[in-house]
C-alpha cells in the first residue's frame, strides 16, 4: 500500500476476491474462450486456445488455486 502513496495516490477502497469469487472469475474466462471457439473454430489461435482449455482447469486446481487471487484497488490522485 505504501507504493500507492509513493505514486502520489490515495487508496479509496479495496475489493479483494475470496475463494468463491476467484473461482468464478477464472471459470468465466474459460467459458468466454469456449464461446469464442464456438464462433471462430478455424481462426489461427483456436488450436492453442483449445489446447490451453484442455489443461487449464487441472493446472488451476493443482498449482494456482491456493496461491493466486485478485483484487481491485481504486486510487485517487492527491
What total of structural domains would you count in the chain?
1
- Note down pLDDT in tens along the chain; length 78 residues: 789 999 999 999 999 888 888 889 899 999 999 999 999 999 999 999 999 999 999 999 888 888 888 889 999 999
Q: Look at residue 27 in the predicted model and tell me its pLDDT.
A: 93
Where in the sequence is the domain holding 29, given as residue range(s)? 2-77
Note the pTM of the prediction, 2 decimals: 0.68
Q: Which of 31, 8, 9, 27 is nearest to 19 (CA)?
A: 27
Q: Which of 78, 73, 72 is nearest to 9 (CA)?
A: 78
Q: Look at residue 66 in the predicted model and tell me its pLDDT.
A: 83
Q: Which of 5, 19, 9 is nearest to 74 (CA)?
A: 9
Q: Look at residue 32 in the predicted model and tell me its pLDDT.
A: 96
Amino acid at each position: 500500500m505504501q507504493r500507492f502513496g509513493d505514486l502520489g495516490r490515495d487508496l479509496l477502497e479495496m475489493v479483494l476476491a475470496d475463494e468463491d469469487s476467484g473461482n468464478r472469475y477464472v471459470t468465466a474466462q474459460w467459458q468466454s474462450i469456449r464461446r469464442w471457439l464456438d464462433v471462430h473454430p478455424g481462426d489461427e489461435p483456436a488450436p492453442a486456445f483449445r489446447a490451453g482449455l484442455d489443461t487449464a482447469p487441472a493446472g488451476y486446481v493443482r498449482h494456482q488455486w491456493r496461491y493466486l487471487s485478485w483484487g481491485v484497488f481504486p486510487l485517487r490522485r492527491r
